[in-house]
Amino acid sequence: MPEIKVTPLGAGQDVGRSCILVSIGGKNIMLDCGMHMGYNDDRRFPDFSYITQNGRLTDFLDCVIISHFHLDHCGALPFMSEMVGYDGPIYMTHPTKAICPILLEDFRKITVDKKGETNFFTSQMIKDCMKKVVPLNLHQTVQVDDELEIKAYYAGHVLGAAMVHIKVGSESVVYTGDYNMTPDRHLGAAWIDKCRPDILISESTYATTIRDSKRCRERDFLKKVHESIERGGKVLIPVFALGRAQELCILLETFWERMNLKAPIYFSTGLTEKANHYYKLFITWTNQKIRKTFVQRNMFEFKHIKAFDRSYADNPGPMVVFATPGMLHAGQSLQIFKKWAGNEKNMVIMPGYCVQGTIGHKILNGQRKLEMEGRSTLDVKLQVEYMSFSAHADAKGIMQLIRMAEPRNMLLVHGEAVKMEFLKGKIEQEFSIDCYMPANGETVTVTTNPSVPVDISLNLLKREMALGGPLPDPKKPRTMHGTLIMKENSLKLVSSEQALKELGLNEHQLRFTCRVQLQDPHSDTDTLHRIYTHLKSVLKGYTIQHLPDGTVMVESIVIKVSSSTEDPNTKVLLLSWSYQDEDLGSFLSTLLKKGLPSGLC
């Protein structure tokens, strides 16, 4: 039985360092190659030694697919390709290909230049790695090799995020990456067709959450920012440079415009301008509304939002600052946080998920005293607000996607074990399909039962369809007969006659002749007619003919009558049939042996 195997190297019952291995139809595929924000040691990258202990990965992988540019999905890519060693194709969408190297470079700078780590990938390695990237277009069917094909679907979540359908023969797997089932201010909703994969591998970040309406959350968010500004407080919003940042910028920009607010909004890092440029050039990846109006008004040209300078943090008066990174684990957002944490007028709004181990995660869990590097502690007095703006599908969205794709099996990754357990129960109950949630390094094996594609001769098919009538009768299914010719890699189903001809075989006729003695005091012709009448009454639905040459034909069985030379009342019936009519022939000879019923005229 063919099997599909799925092994998460990362993101198994966890969020971070997404990396999932899939073996399907003899092909091995790596889905995502991310880093973990919660670790600074070896654990930040997936354990590639699972694939091979020594040597390069090229021989073991047919392709690598990256779902989107977030570092927990692509952060380990240069390490994997350049330091462990992989030279095969890496697939990602155009926006991901454009943005991913910038975030990698940023990540490298923080790790190497700021934290002083050695033995890390270099700028050159990022460049070399990106040379192996093959861009993917939405809905394009990409033939990785003769057998393996992949197809990308829109996933929402961030610019260029894609779900991917992987197919070998009639077996298939869908990997969602991160996705969002509701459109937001700048992105559309994820969509997939009814592709009925054998396994649907879905993220489950918000496995237990059913989020309230987005409008309420937005109103809440604006209210909180507004109140804080009114009080003269400073608002810090830690974000990643691309993604939620643009969403919230659009939100604040329109609010500032409407309310005619004057407090400054800043956006940290030099990335901003560049980031917005990407959004302008990849406008086809945003939502319908932005795409429709972009000629008149480009939503990514902000009037109220200006670039941030480090010195502004100490300026008096209210302000809103978007700063990177989003989980307060390093960089500018952390620096500003440290500066503002002591004042209860200030506020930090966490707009997305925070990985365990990050400061973001700690303050969200209510920790008010933070141990900082160098044994100092930081008292957190500012208001801490959490507002889920991260564009992940919630439980409702995940169920919706399952309804769209109709998978045969479900596999959850990119979530916390307890929450997954809950969702797994719900999925199994509602859809009656198996749902798996492997831990890292644990392999799930699903047996598939693919049907076998065969070429049927059109003559045979047409004959069969004509005989079957326009509507099939479920009570009386028609049986079709044919011969399957297996030659090299081709499978052809033809009628038996055609098979003989194609293979140059002779037909061997097997015939039977059987004499039956019958007591019937009539003339030969009368006897024949009596037989004809008898068979007519017994064999309903068969073709029975009384031929002028003195024979009766039942289908292709020939019956002749002659009188015995000794006794004219003893008739000798000669039955002759071919092997193809064996059942009927055998039945007839037995039937006629019993004589004719007397009531026949």
Partner 1 sequence: MKLYCLSGHPTLPCNVLKFKSTTIMLDCGLDTTSVLNFLPLPLVHSPRLSKLPGWVSKDGTLNLEKELKECAGRVFVDSQPEFCLPEKELLDLSTIDVILISNYHCMMALPYITEHTGFTGTVYATEPTLQIGRLLMEELVNFMERVPKAQSATCWKNKEIQRMLPGPLKDAVDVWTWKRSYSMQEVNSALSKVQLVGYSQKVELFGAVQVSPLSSGYSLGSSNWIIQSHHEKVSYVSGSSLLTTHPQPMDQSSLKNSDVLILTGLTQMPTANPDGMLGEFCSNLAMTIRAGGNVLVPCYSSGVIYDLLECLYQFIESANLGTTPFYFISPVANSSLEFSQIFAEWLCHNKQSKVYLPEPPFPHAELIQTNKLKHYPSIHGDFSSEFRQPCVVFTGHPSLRFGDVVHFMELWGKSSLNTIIFTEPDFSYLDALAPYQPLAMKCVYCPIDTRLNFHQVSKLLKEVQPLHVVCPEQYTQPPLTQSHRSDLMLELQPPPMPYRRCSVLNLPFRRRYERVYIMPELANSLVPSEIKPGISLATVSAVLHSKDNKHTLQSVPKPPPVPPSKKRKRVIEEPPVVLAPKPLLSGAVPLEAFLATLQKHGITEVKVEETADGHILHLQAEDTLIQLEEDGTHIVCDNNEPLRTTLRDLVLRFLQKL
Q: How far is the CB of 244 from partner 1 (least distance, A)?
A: 20
- Say which of 82, 147, 149, 203 is annotated catalytic: 203
Stretch touching partner 1 by CB under 8 A, among 111-119, 218-226, 402-410, 450-458: 450-458
Q: Are 270 and 324 in contact (CB under 8 A)?
A: no
CA dihedral 501, 502, 506, 509 (to 10 degrees): -50
Whole-number Å distance between alpha carbons of 530 and 550: 13
Return the DSSP state at 505: P
Cβ-based nearer residue to partner 1, 400 or 576: 576
Q: Which positions from 60 through 99 interact with partner 1, judged by CB under 8 A?
A: 94, 97-98
Residues 208 and 395: beta-carbon distance below 8 Å: yes
Q: What is the residue whose two structure tokens read 């008292």?
A: 379
Pick one of 509, 543, 565, 598: the residue that binds partner 1 (CB under 8 A).
Answer: 509
Closest CA to 411 of 16, 20, 42: 20
Sequence letter at residue 451:
S
Q: Tokens in use for 67? A: 């779902």
- Closest to partner 1 by CB, 338 vs 536, is 536
Kindly state the tokens that stand for 261.
């607010």
In this structure, what token pair is assigned to residue 487?
């030659």
Sheet arrangement for strand 171-175:
141-143, 148-154, 162-168, 171-175, 199-203, 409-413, 434-436
Does 500 interact with partner 1 (rule: CB under 8 A)? yes
| Window contacting partner 1 (CB under 8 A); options: 30-38, 82-90, 383-391, 489-497 | 489-497
**Contact present, 111 and 330 (Cβ < 8 Å):** no
Q: Which is nearer to partner 1, 259 or 281 (CB)?
A: 281
Pick out residues in 318-377 that bind partner 1 (CB under 8 A).
none
Q: How far is the CB of 135 from partner 1 (least distance, A)?
A: 7
Among 378, 499, 558, 600, binds partner 1 (CB under 8 A): 499
- CB nearer to partner 1: give 205 or 276: 276
Size of site (CB under 8 A) for partner 1: 85
**Least distance in angstroms from the C-beta of 3 to partner 1:** 14
Of 232 and 597, which CB lies nearer to partner 1 in the complex structure? 597
Q: Taking CB under 8 A as the rule, which mask of x and - marks residues 453-482 in contact with partner 1?
A: xxxxxx--x--xx--x---x----xxxxxx
Helix (H) or strand (E) holding 80: none
Binding of partner 1 by 513 (CB under 8 A):
yes
Q: Rounded to an integer, what distance in angstroms lies between the CA atom of residue 213 and that of residue 148?
A: 40
Closest to partner 1 by CB, 162 vs 341, is 162
Nearer of residues 433 and 480 to partner 1, judged by Cβ = 480
Closest CA to 239 of 351, 95, 135, 320: 351
Among 394, 300, 390, 315, smallest CA distance to 349 is for 390
Q: How far apart are CB 586 and partner 1 at their closest, in Å?
A: 7
Residue 16: CB minimum distance to partner 1, A: 27
State the nearest-atom distance from the C-beta of 482 to partner 1, in Å: 5
Binding to partner 1 by residue 599, rule CB under 8 A? no
Cα–Cα nearest to 459, from 487, 480, 433: 480
Whole-number minimum distance, CB 468 to partner 1, in Å? 7
Should residue 484 be labelled a site residue for partner 1 when binding is judged by CB under 8 A?
Answer: yes
Residue 428 annotated in active site: no
Shortest Å, Cβ 107 to partner 1? 18
Q: Looking only at residues 261 through 290 of this chain, which bind partner 1 when binding is defined by CB under 8 A?
A: 274, 277-278, 280-284
Q: Are 245 and 186 in contact (CB under 8 A)?
A: no
Give the full edge-to-edge strand order of the sheet including 133-136: 133-136, 90-93, 63-65, 27-31, 19-24, 3-10, 444-447
38 makes contact with partner 1 (CB under 8 A): no
Region near partner 1 per CB under 8 A, out of 82-90, 373-381, 534-542, 559-567? 534-542
392 binds partner 1 (CB under 8 A): no
Residues near 600 by beta carbon (within 8 Å), at least 6 away in sequence: 530, 533, 534
**Residue 429: Cβ-neighbour burial (10 angstroms; 0-12, 13-18, 19+):** exposed
Q: Write out the two tokens for 531.
A: 């037989």
Question: Between 60 and 587, whose beta carbon lies closer to partner 1?
Answer: 587
Residues from 430 through 449 that contact partner 1 (CB under 8 A): 449
With beta carbons less than 8 A apart as the criterion, state whether 187 and 393 touch: no
Of 492, 529, 546, 560, the one binding partner 1 (CB under 8 A) is 492
Applying the rule CB under 8 A, the residues between 130 and 189 that interact with partner 1 are 135, 137-142, 151, 170
Angle, helix 395-405 to helix 417-431, in steps of 10 degrees: 40
Residue 85 vs 135, nearer CB to partner 1: 135
Among 150, 444, 589, 592, binds partner 1 (CB under 8 A): 589
Within 558-587, which residues bind partner 1 (CB under 8 A)? 579-584, 586-587
118 part of the interface to partner 1, by CB under 8 A: no
588: tokens are 């007839």
Catalytically active residues, by annotation: 203
